[in-house]
Amino acid sequence: MAGRPSREAVARWNLAYAEQTAALFAATQAADAQALSRLAFGYQAVAEAWRVLAADLAVPLWARHASSVAAEEFDRRAALEWSRIAPEEGP
């Protein structure tokens, strides 16, 4: 039987996802550079939290792979938001 991810990894994911969700709602209200930057950083934090879960050897291989794919998607979303702020620049 496979184990579960560490409590720290899950807590990190929960915090990152809560901030990203708050940033997403803020960006829908005011799509200015500050709101979009917060959203991009939120997406990056969620991507990093997914990578931590993907690296957790206690998690089944299929879940680690899914976490890795999710990290790539949130990296893509962060890059999209950075491009909306400054098309030629990034973090």
Where does the pLDDT of residue 85 fall: very low under 50, low under 70, confident under 90, or very high at 90 and above? confident
Where does the pLDDT of residue 1 fall: very low under 50, low under 70, confident under 90, or very high at 90 and above? very low
Q: What pLDDT, on a 0 to 100 scale, did the predictor assign at position 51?
A: 95
Cα separation of 47 and 72, whole Å? 7
pTM of this structure: 0.83
Q: How many CA atoms within 13 Å lie on the side-chain side of 66?
A: 5
Rounded to the nearest integer, the mean pLDDT of the chain is 89
pLDDT at 76 over 90: yes
Cα separation of 91 and 79, whole Å? 9
The answer to whether 13 touches 49, Cβ cutoff 8 Å, is yes
Q: What pLDDT, on a 0 to 100 scale, did the predictor assign at position 74?
A: 97
Sequence-ordered list of residues with C-beta below 8 angstroms from that of 39, at least 6 positions apart, any chain: 20, 23, 24, 26, 27, 81
